[in-house]
Amino acid sequence: MIVMKFDAPSIGSFDRLRGVAKLVLQNKARKPVVVTSALPKVTDLLLETAQLAAERESDYEDKLQEIETLHQEVVEELLRDGPARRRLLAHVKELMGELRTFCTAVYALEELTPRTLDAVAAIGERLSGEIVAEALVQEGLRAEVVDARTIIITDEAFGNAAPQMAEIGPRARLHLKPMLDTGIVPVLGGYMGATPSGVTTTLGRGGADATAAIVGTLLEAQEIQIWTEVDGLMNVDPKVAADAQAIPSVSPEEAAELTYFGTKVLHPAMILPAVERGVPIRVCNTQQPTAPGTLVTASDPTGPSGPRAVAYRKGITVVLISQPKMLMASGYLRKVFEVFERHDTAVDLIATSEVSISLTLDDIENIGPIKADLARLGEVKVMREKAIVSLVGRGFFRYQGLARRIFEALAGVNVVMISFAASDVNISVVVDEGDAERAVHSLHREFFSEIAAEKPAS
């Protein structure tokens, strides 16, 4: 079997839905399980609606109407007037009724708990599941919605619930296997789950990918396909370099590095279990279904080494702490990091010399108190508006001449910090925000343009 997961843009209109149905039909022989996101914007709208109701803003009712209309319009485009359309519209009404009840209660009580918010959010995927299943039926497939909450058992961490794999495995086999064996395509709304006692939960934003990964891993799928509107993981931001290309294959480690830089296609936490069980994950483009996309598989330690992508992230702050007394002292780093822990702030890159430490932060909400606490440990300098530019790849430790090529490529750019050797899949430099695109461009040209490909790797 395979898992085919479709994101919101892929199911956002009649044409898109037809395209999706055709793709599923083409893969019928591979016994697909379909996992779907909510329709575009719907999850955001649902969360906003509940929030408005909790704040006793009566416009929440307009939002409810917007959500209802949006789904009705898709149904009306998809189906001509007849029993199927009437059945589906009735179903939309029923779920909207449930949503209204939730929101009325939130409004009346002026209270929105994470538990209620999950019940509200799950409506998006419960609605889209019905619509996608109907689109498949229209294409001649035997498709049936399976309520993901009967399979995806989670803990009670509402809003970001953890799947209980030991509970899910038997349920997935029990509910889905017989369907697959009799040629039925099960359609699951992604993102949602339920506690063992049946209370609705969600797996966190973007969680439909997780649903696909969980089901594919536990049913030992031949492949988990994540269908989206990009060609896969790109080797550079297409906005920076016109010749950006999809990376044919990445290891989970490389995918994790790229995720930090906003390649939001895959979350590392869901990739690992699949890859460990030997289930490949492929990111595919609904607009270009025949393109190979990006395959995520376990890395081959003897395979070719070298850079695979250039990524960047702006809005970075560098903190530099220097303290001559640090020379030969022990326990100093602990004191520094305690400050960041105390202020609940994640540190990304770190570089040290004998008497100073540089590190980067994304989140500077608490920079004031952090600076004050660090000032007790040494001299502190804060540099804002920086960017991290990273070369991501594999086997960097055994790739000769890498540093020379990087620094030659960055000759015209002022580098304020370097982090290398934390892993052999990433080398990062910190530059001024205004230099980020130029740095990315130069690195991309050095390592990925045709001319570079012809250069002998030294």
- What is the binding site for ligand ASP (CB under 6 A)? 8, 37-38, 43, 124, 190-191, 205-209
The answer to whether residue 206 forms part of the interface with Mg ion (CB under 5 A) is: yes
Q: What is the closest distance, in whole angstroms, from the C-beta atom of residue 65 to ligand ASP in the complex? A: 20
Closest to ligand ASP by CB, 43 or 428: 43
Residues facing residue 246 across a β-bridge? 234
The answer to whether residue 9 forms part of the interface with Mg ion (CB under 5 A) is: no
CA atoms of 304 and 298, how far apart (whole Å) = 14
Closest to ligand ASP by CB, 99 or 439: 99
Q: What is the closest distance, in whole angstroms, from the C-beta atom of residue 211 to ligand ASP in the complex? A: 8
Number of residues binding to Mg ion, judged by CB under 5 A: 2
Closest to ligand ASP by CB, 46 or 388: 46
Q: Is 359 exposed, middle or buried (CB count within 10 Å of its CB: 0-12, 13-18, 19+)?
A: buried
Q: Are 309 and 247 in contact (CB under 8 A)?
A: yes
CA atoms of 187 and 134, how far apart (whole Å) = 10
Closest to ligand ASP by CB, 244 or 265: 265
Which backbone phi and psi does 187 adopt, to 5 degrees? -115, 120
Q: What is the closest distance, in whole angstroms, from the C-beta atom of residue 229 to Mg ion in the complex? A: 10
Nearest to 73 by CA among 89, 49, 62: 89
Part of the chain binding Mg ion (CB under 5 A), chosen from 7-15, 49-57, 273-281, 361-369 = 7-15
Binder of residue 43, out of Mg ion, ligand ASP, none (CB less than 5 to 8 A by kind): ligand ASP
User: How many CA atoms are closer than 13 Å to the CA of 166, on its beta-carbon side?
Assistant: 1
Nearest to 232 by CA among 218, 250, 217, 216: 250
Q: What is the closest distance, in whole angstroms, from the C-beta atom of residue 132 to ligand ASP in the complex? A: 13
Closest to ligand ASP by CB, 287 or 299: 287
Residues facing residue 5 across a β-bridge? 35, 226
CA atoms of 428 and 414, how far apart (whole Å) = 14
Part of the chain binding Mg ion (CB under 5 A), chosen from 26-34, 101-109, 202-210, 442-450 = 202-210
Q: What is the closest distance, in whole angstroms, from the C-beta atom of residue 8 to ligand ASP in the complex? A: 6
Q: What is the closest distance, in whole angstroms, from the C-beta atom of residue 206 to Mg ion in the complex? A: 4
Cα of 49 vs its chain's centroid, Å? 24
Binder of residue 8, out of ligand ASP, Mg ion, none (CB less than 5 to 8 A by kind): ligand ASP
Q: How far is CA 298 from CA 250, 254, 257, 260, in A?
A: 8, 10, 15, 19
Q: What is the closest distance, in whole angstroms, from the C-beta atom of residue 379 to ligand ASP in the complex? A: 43
**DSSP H/E element including 224:** strand 223-228
Closest to Mg ion by CB, 263 or 390: 263
Task: Look up residue 296 and give its two tokens.
Answer: 């995520």
Closest to Mg ion by CB, 79 or 270: 270
The answer to whether residue 395 forms part of the interface with Mg ion (CB under 5 A) is: no
Binder of residue 120, out of ligand ASP, Mg ion, none (CB less than 5 to 8 A by kind): none
Q: What is the closest distance, in whole angstroms, from the C-beta atom of residue 93 to ligand ASP in the complex? A: 21
As separate numbers, helices (DSSP H) first and strands (DSSP E) second, the chain gives: 14, 16
Task: Look up residue 446 and give its two tokens.
Answer: 């050095």
Binder of residue 19, out of Mg ion, ligand ASP, none (CB less than 5 to 8 A by kind): none
Q: How far is CA 191 from CA 36, 49, 210, in A?
A: 9, 19, 7
- Catalog residues that contact Mg ion under the rule CB under 5 A: 7, 206
